[in-house]
């Protein structure tokens, strides 16, 4: 095993151990600040919103990659051991396995305690949709959909880009993903401005989405769920939509024997998501705990695959 594989595995274990402590300054929050300031800067100087949004993507993504490379270069000037430590830290902040579970368990516990208002409040912290009027099944659906999508962009995708391009490429992906979440076209304000960010994010998630579905199906089979049903739902319901998030969500829906998708409200406006999976089982709170276990095993399979790819490339 080469040194980077050890660094990558160590970053994953560090993420499992401590997650994202709120007291620790997180680079993604810095990216959010830079994106906010950068948006004001490019809008003030360019009339063409699509061009302005494209320049913002280039500045943030390129700047993040250069910053990561610069940190590794500076670490190398200090000592040999500082390089893997710095790279491990950069990779660690790109992963969110533990944080995804930490933020999902309170939703499950609130529902099990028959506290629907609290479950709505907790799920509002991890989803973008309106949650104040969700019933129990809709809260479960929101949580499971987020777990499926986040398994892709919070675990598999960073590991994929780390395997092929090291920490700088993983950080670049994280910057693109943060750009999409902040300015991707979901409202009139960002219809043109965020179109480049959304397109780049979609392109970068094309392979990770399919890998996520594959790992989720493998995890389902290992946990005595249905890996075949997971792949079937992914092919039948997820792939035709051409939306990366739906591919991962369809895979987890098939694995659990549930149906996801339906009507979601964003700032009071309804948005229809296609049906994903088959309603063989009810959307009960237990589906959240089952999803978390699938996500954990999916992450283990993903990091083992990333290490194997890195060894092969070396």
Stretch (H or E) spanning 275: strand 269-276
Give the whole-angstrom CA distance, residue 163 versus residue 154.
15
Task: Kindly compute the dihedral angle of the four CA atoms of residues 178, 184, 186, 188, in this order, to the nearest 10 degrees.
Answer: 130
**What stretches in the chain show pLDDT beneath 70?**
1, 23-25, 186
**Do the beta carbons of residue 267 and residue 251 sit within 8 Å?**
no
Q: What are phi and psi of 281, to 5 degrees?
A: -130, 155
pLDDT of residue 25: 66
Report pLDDT for 1. 62
For residue 209, what pLDDT is reported?
A: 96
Q: Where are the domains of the chain?
A: 3-313
Sequential DSSP letters for 136-148: HHHHHHHHHHHHH
**Sign of torsion over alpha carbons 225, 212, 288, 230:** negative
Q: What's the CA gap between 198 and 203, in Å, rounded?
A: 9
Residue-wise pLDDT for 254-285, tens only, equals 999 999 999 998 888 888 999 999 999 999 99
Among candidate residues 304, 308, 285, the one with its CA nearest the CA of residue 138: 285
């Amino acid at each position: 095993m080469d040194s980077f594989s050890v660094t990558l595995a160590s970053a994953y274990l560090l993420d499992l151990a401590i997650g994202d402590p709120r007291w620790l300054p997180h680079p993604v929050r810095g990216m959010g600040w830079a994106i906010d300031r950068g948006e004001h800067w490019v809008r003030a100087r360019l009339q063409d919103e699509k061009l302005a949004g494209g320049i913002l993507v280039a500045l943030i993504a390129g700047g993040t990659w250069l910053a990561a490379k610069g940190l590794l270069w500076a670490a190398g000037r200090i000592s040999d051991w500082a390089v893997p430590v710095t790279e491990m830290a950069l990779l660690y902040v790109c992963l969110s396995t533990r944080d995804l579970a930490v933020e999902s368990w309170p939703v499950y516990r609130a529902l099990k305690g028959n506290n629907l208002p609290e479950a709505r409040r907790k799920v509002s912290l991890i989803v973008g949709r309106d949650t104040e009027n969700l019933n129990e099944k809709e809260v479960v659906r929101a949580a499971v959909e987020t777990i499926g999508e986040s398994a892709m962009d919070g675990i598999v995708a960073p590991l994929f880009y780390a395997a092929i391009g090291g920490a700088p490429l993983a950080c670049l992906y994280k910057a693109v993903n943060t750009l999409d979440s902040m300015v991707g076209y979901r409202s009139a304000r960002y219809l043109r401005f965020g179109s480049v960010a959304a397109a780049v994010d979609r392109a970068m998630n094309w392979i990770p989405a399919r890998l996520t579905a594959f790992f989720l199906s493998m995890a389902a089979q290992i946990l005595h769920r249905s890996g075949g049903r997971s792949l079937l739902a992914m092919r039948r319901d997820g792939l035709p939509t051409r939306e990366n998030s739906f591919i991962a969500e369809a895979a987890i829906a098939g694995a659990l024997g549930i149906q996801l998708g339906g009507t979601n409200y964003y700032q009071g406006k309804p948005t229809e998501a296609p049906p994903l999976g088959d309603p063989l089982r009810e959307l009960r709170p237990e589906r959240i705990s089952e999803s978390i276990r699938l996500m954990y095993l999916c992450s283990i399979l993903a990091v083992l695959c990333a290490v194997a790819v890195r060894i092969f490339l070396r």
